[in-house]
Structure 1
């Protein structure tokens, strides 16, 4: 069975107009009824950096979690954000973007990779105290436009450092849509073989005509955990072939059906969630 993380946070964070808190809450509560493994629902970062998600704490307080088995994941950019997220027992996963590109790490978090790894170590200690789990996203996981080193061996070196810190969940993240089967396959094949005790996930971006080959490459190389967003929204909505958005959850479900590993989701709730998705992103 494929395990899916639905990422409304990634879909909403760059949206140009503020989505009202009540609409976010209604949408997320619908998603909680679908039955996804994990819901990437919000982030604890500077509201100056991500104003769209400044209401994450308020949203969290209004989520209907009692009847849902879906786990919540919140993204943070530093230790301060992790300390905030750790105050909420409703959150099971705290996600942190660690770039394999030095240039992007500086641009994204104003820190070096070495400093970011120090944050990862301290977040891991924090999670050990609170009973939460850290998810480390290896951003620029399939290459970068800056000329910084990238290869499956580089990914292995980063993973080895994370392994030494006790991190057990790592997601390769296609930050700029650079992934191709030629980069996806060796990355997952080598990492899943070298670190069988680590759960590797794929956070892929795609254009409408390249989604299948990307998912298939990751799947055939051993990946069973995928991130998606209904409608393919995220960063730039997938309006034309030239724009690269999140992997559409609808396509992941289509692939899962094809390979006989479809997750057991509530179809009526999923239909409601798709309607909410269209209402939110069309209206705002």
Structure 2
């Protein structure tokens, strides 16, 4: 029997998982703090749109990222459908200590490192080696708590300070995460330096070297190639993606690294291709337009303006 790269048989509907990262990755990059009730309302809208995995909060020092200082209040206030996974991002052991005080409010914990030493130092003021030593300790604690341990490797496709990051270095870090207990590993195009040809090579190699691990693609649209990169990853078998409604977010280090690919644009593309996401695209667009209203400025996703393609094939 023929099996395709994503483990489908010919003729079987393609299905992907999409995690919404806007409530953390997007909101933290806004110049002004979004009111807690607005955050809760927007996250609840995403839940009603069928999003089953949402990155909600980050346990960082409030003086470092004041935009997320209300993370616990948001986690307590949201009212999501049963089965929605709530993820929190943790920068270090102190952050994990604080997160575990409210362990009942989330299911997934993400730890992160930059594949580029320079970016890691500028981002969290640590070497890669220091970060990974902490990861191995934190990973055991996360697994012992019965939580899902997810990993994020930033600058996987290139660094504005160091240039192209060797593929073997990135996958070596991924293997260290897997050995520490991570069951999902996301590869971030943090400053939008990926291209479709390299993405195909990258994810083919990652899927081959990380058996049993959910491999996730996280692209930014800094140079307009985000959806093309997502398509390239899909075609070699990647079925897990992260995106941000309204194309919110980006990397604060360095300046000029604009937002993630928009969830509504990504989902719209998949639906037009007959790929099942399980999301209600109209409701995702509504949530993005709600965010636009809260922020009081135009957001940059295409679907907010154009809406969905009405003749897109059904995915069920």
Normalising by structure 1, we get a TM-score of 0.91
Query: Which sections of structure 2, spanning at least 5 residues, go unmatched?
Result: 1-14, 299-316
Equivalent position of 1:258 in the other structure:
272
Point out the more displaced range, 217-226 or 143-152: 143-152
In structure 2, distance between residues paired with 1:187 and 1:266: 30
Question: Structure 1 residue 36 and structure 2 residue 57: aligned?
Answer: no
Equivalent position of 1:246 in the other structure:
260
Question: Structure 1 residue 202 and structure 2 residue 217: aligned?
Answer: yes
Question: Structure 1 residue 191 and structure 2 residue 206: aligned?
Answer: yes
Q: Match for 1:112 among 114, 127, 134?
A: 127
SS of 1:202's equivalent? strand
Question: Structure 1 residue 217 and structure 2 residue 232: aligned?
Answer: yes
Equivalent position of 1:146 in the other structure:
161
TM-superposed deviation, 1:249: 0.6
- Cα deviation, 1:179-234, whole Å, max 9, x if unaligned, reads 11133121111010121211110110014842331111111122111111111111
SS of 2:161's equivalent? coil
Equivalent position of 2:248 in the other structure:
233
Query: Which sections of structure 1, spanning at least 5 residues, go unmatched?
Result: none
SS of 2:278's equivalent? coil
Structure showing the higher strand proportion among its residues:
1
Question: Structure 1 residue 169 and structure 2 residue 206: aligned?
Answer: no
Equivalent position of 2:6 in the other structure:
none
TM-superposed deviation, 1:259: 3.0
Change (3 A) 1:149 1:230: closer
Question: Structure 1 residue 22 and structure 2 residue 10: aligned?
Answer: no
Equivalent position of 1:75 in the other structure:
89
Question: Structure 1 residue 182 and structure 2 residue 197: aligned?
Answer: yes
Question: Structure 1 residue 49 and structure 2 residue 64: aligned?
Answer: yes
SS of 2:109's equivalent? strand
In structure 2, distance between residues paired with 1:209 and 1:150: 20
- Cα deviation, 1:1-55, whole Å, max 9, x if unaligned, reads 1100011211110101111111111111111222213101111101111110001
In structure 2, distance between residues paired with 1:243 and 1:171: 19
CA RMSD of aligned residues (A): 2.1
In structure 2, distance between residues paired with 1:131 and 1:175: 29
Equivalent position of 1:60 in the other structure:
75
SS of 2:186's equivalent? strand
Q: Match for 1:6 among 20, 23, 32?
A: 20
Normalising by structure 2, we get a TM-score of 0.82
Equivalent position of 1:127 in the other structure:
142
In structure 2, distance between residues paired with 1:233 and 1:204: 12
> How many residues end up aligned between the 2 structures?
279
Change (3 A) 1:25 1:34: same
Is contact 1:152–1:186 with CA below 8 Å preserved after alignment? no
Change (3 A) 1:158 1:271: closer
TM-superposed deviation, 1:91: 0.8
